[in-house]
Structure 1
Amino acid sequence: MTSASGGPAAASSRPPATLAQKLVARAAGLDHAVPGTVVMCKVDLAMSHDSSGPRRVAPMLRELGARIWDPSKYVVVTDHYVPAADPEAEQIVRFTRDWVREAGITNFIDGEGICHVVLPERGHVLPGRFIVGGDSHSPTGGAFGAYMFGIGATEMAGVLATGEIWLRVPQTIRLDWHGALAAGVCAKDMMLFLCATLGLAGGRYEALEYTGAAVAALPMQERMTLANMSTEIGAQTGVIAPDDTTLAWLAANGVDAATLAALELSRWRGDDDAPVLAHHRFDAGALAPQVAAPHSPANSAPVTDSAGESIDIAYLGACTGAKLEDLRMAARVLRGRKIAPGMSLRVAPASARDQQQAAREGTLATLLDAGAELLPNACNACAGYGATRFPAGSRAIASTARNFAGRMGDAGSAVWLASPMTVAATAVTGRITDPRDLLA
């Protein structure tokens, strides 16, 4: 490990620190960030989408007479209101496109996928970076060893005007997953289990640090699911130490060799002896597939508790359930099978790039052959926009992050949350089904 100044003497005299503390210290220009203190951090990157971004921050910047501090460090994504389903949505998307052009923002990703997925796949999220996003699931970036969290429109306007933000240095809650996940169990199951075990406020708006052999064995997009759903436990962010898996994924997604070589991965690891607020240990091998009953992720329990519930809509979508790895997991269950009569299986790949790769390798064909309906690369039902909302009286199982009443459609609909494999297994039988039964 090296200090901010690169000197070994400084490193040896610095107190042990968690990964979150090290990331915040770098952003604040400090040798050590003390939990509970308030520091000013320089922002490496800011991200907004069409719902949280231009239409909300533009009026505030105009009133302040402020310009964006560095247009090259602001990424805008359209994903909530595309494709536009009504005149209001059309106006929001049009305003976003016009303002981005007028503001000179070159990092504009228009209708190509969900912000939390397209941001890292374009190489914008790197280990060591301090990033803010205009969406509650912005902690997704923590999967790459970055400090990323969600902020509101007023805070975003301040960031865009100054390039800085105040932050209370968080304490760390360490979540250590030892052992190995069994077949049919994945990161989504880990997070639903944590929602039930720790509760929706269990993160105390602090930083979660995911460690252990089971976490290290996960591919990047599965790690993204862990970091993303840190929000569901009430944390400010969730972080995972970067490693060779991180580097390989970034290289495959176009990050150049010189940038990768300069990342200093050994610097971005939490010290084992750093004080933490809590240290929870879990046996990954003992985890069963999880299902969250309506209307909260905290209503999670082993799939056997919900098995047999009749379902009419199976939804593979969102940043926690329709990335390439998620589509592959669903395809393993669906291969050679058809969805049950009367069942609707809707698939909204999280990004155009993921959909294209799924098509090249045959994963998409497997889903379509089973009877899936393909939806646009956007938030769709997860955000409660567009024509994919669930109607009153419907009973759905979804790979999304939340199932609050009315979020994904009519308040009279009922939504169970599960992994892509459990969603796929349920689509085959028409009832909530343990994916292990079909994988066997």
Structure 2
Amino acid sequence: MGMTMTQKILAAHAGLESVKAGQLIEANLDLVLANDITGPVAIHEVEKLNKKTVFHKDKVALVPDHFTPNKDIKSAEHCKCVREYAKAQGITNYFEVGEMGIEHALLPEKGLIVAGETCIGADSHTCTYGALGAFSTGVGSTDMGAGMITGQAWFKVPSAIKVVVTGKLKPWVSGKDVILHLIGKIGVDGALYRSLEFVGDGIANLSMDDRFTIANMAIEAGAKNGIFPVDEKTIAYMEEHSNKEYKVYEADEDAEYDEEIVIDLDKLDSTVAFPHLPENTKTVKEAGEVTIDQVVIGSCTNGRIEDLRVAAKILENNKVKKGIRCIIIPATQKIYLQAMEEGLLKTFIEAGAIVSTPTCGPCLGGHMGILAAGERAVATTNRNFVGRMGDVTSEIYLASPAVAAASAVTGKISEPSELGM
């Protein structure tokens, strides 16, 4: 029996000719990642071990991004812990205020991960890098700490779901709508500990930013990882951002999949996940009259330059409705600078929005946009669990940048067509 794309990458990194679903393996790692919340936990654990040094100072990335700039004394202590460890270990890829970004946007941008590689991160959305044809997955801080000093991790080889993508997206519909539609279709545990392997001629019509968004939220369907084939767009992205050698793996024709799901991009409409799970999806047309208090455009899911361009196009000749708070967060310093040079930040501010330095802040209810009791937010983030962004009675509606920007103008869940766009 043949292997899936994910299985081939894992076999190669385990030094095995082949692997099969359910098999336990130990695989070599190309990158290990932690942030200012998960990093200190890992650091404190590995300091108890006999081996005190990281396995490779260029293959560990520490990115304080969740509570930075520091929101209080405790978050400052967390960042101090990571900063001092990075310095003591001579870790090359440490990025803080001034050069930082949201980790899952920053690492591909810095060229730290490429096709065919393996990555674990003590953050569940580490699966983002599957957009580049890499195997990447989130793990706990203890596993991450062990990987940081050994350069290895154990895995149970996942089985897979084949997601066949066909067609082309309508205007204003994006990768966020694709992944929300898929999660709504299979549920938050529909791909539990399985690979979501995306194939089909429709992938050529998805931008790299679309693919990063889709892979990012694979975990919201319970998936171990999401992964895309390597095509011309992938290669162009890697050649622009990285000088690392990449390796292309392709699934065997006789690879075994648990099931096959077809997504016709032509038929997708703007989609929103209602509280309190990403699977609770409706199209905007089905949403009804849902008034809101706040809009957040950003996060590791939708803070890239394409996302900001879409939001700016909608806000360019419109104003944020009086009483609505619209917070826009470029995902990295490079994206922030590009948005400034393109005039996007001016558009946002003139429309009545605010622009923040790169941070995960509001996505996890950390800072920069906490919700009070009973408030509702439309957010381009990835989770809408109870209390995720603030008070337990608040509500989060997950949506694309286009829907979020249109909703900021109308004060209710809307799509651009309602603005005559």
TM-score range, shorter chain: over 0.9
- Residue 22 (1) aligns with residue 35 (2): no
Which residue is 1:4 aligned to? none
How far does the alpha carbon of each residue in 1:365-417 deviate from its partner, in whole angstroms, 9 at most, with x for none?
22222111111201010022124211222111111001111111111211111
Distance 2:48 2:125 in 1: 28
Which residue is 1:426 aligned to? 407
Distance 1:213 1:367 in 2: 35
Aligned partners of 2:345 and 2:355 also within 8 Å: no
> Which stretch of structure 1 is more off in the superposition, 223-232 or 298-307?
298-307
1:329-368 alignment, distance < 5 Å:
329-368=310-349
Distance 1:121 1:263 in 2: 15
Distance 1:271 1:47 in 2: 30
1:128-147 alignment, distance < 5 Å:
128-147=116-135
Which residue is 2:293 aligned to? 312
TM-score w.r.t. the length of structure 2 is 0.96
Count of residue pairs the alignment pairs up = 418
Which residue is 1:202 aligned to? 190
Distance 1:405 1:131 in 2: 30
TM-score w.r.t. the length of structure 1 is 0.92
- Please state how far the C-alpha of 1:352 moved relative to its aligned partner: 1.0
Q: Unpaired runs of 5+ in structure 1? A: 1-14
Which residue is 2:219 aligned to? 231
Distance 2:214 2:401 in 1: 14
Q: Unpaired runs of 5+ in structure 2? A: none
Find the partner of 1:94 among 74, 80, 83.
80
Find the partner of 1:323 among 286, 304, 327.
304
Which residue is 2:207 aligned to? 219
- Residue 263 (1) aligns with residue 251 (2): no
Find the partner of 2:23 among 21, 37, 57.
37
Question: Aligned to 1:16, what secondary structure does the other structure show?
Answer: coil
How far does the alpha carbon of each residue in 1:186-227 deviate from its partner, in whole angstroms, 9 at most, with x for none?
110111111111000001211111122332221112100111
Distance 2:176 2:288 in 1: 18
Which residue is 2:271 aligned to? 290
- Please state how far the C-alpha of 1:264 moved relative to its aligned partner: 4.2
Aligned partners of 2:119 and 2:136 also within 8 Å: yes
Write the letter of the residue equivalent to 2:261.
H
Aligned partners of 2:312 and 2:348 also within 8 Å: yes
Write the letter of the residue equivalent to 1:435.
P
Distance 1:276 1:384 in 2: 37
Distance 1:86 1:184 in 2: 39
Which residue is 1:62 aligned to? 47
How far does the alpha carbon of each residue in 1:413-439 deviate from its partner, in whole angstroms, 9 at most, with x for none?
111111100000001111111223336
1:163-174 alignment, distance < 5 Å:
163-174=151-162
Find the partner of 2:64 among 78, 83, 91.
78
Distance 2:56 2:247 in 1: 25
- Please state how far the C-alpha of 1:324 moved relative to its aligned partner: 1.0
Question: Aligned to 1:423, what secondary structure does the other structure show?
Answer: helix
Distance 2:279 2:296 in 1: 20
How far does the alpha carbon of each residue in 1:51-78 deviate from its partner, in whole angstroms, 9 at most, with x for none?
111x112222221122212222101001
Question: Aligned to 2:95, what secondary structure does the other structure show?
Answer: strand
Aligned partners of 1:348 and 1:380 also within 8 Å: no
Write the letter of the residue equivalent to 1:184.
W
Runs of 4+ with deviation above 6 angstroms: none
Aligned partners of 1:307 and 1:433 also within 8 Å: no
Question: Aligned to 1:101, what secondary structure does the other structure show?
Answer: helix
Question: Aligned to 1:33, what secondary structure does the other structure show?
Answer: coil
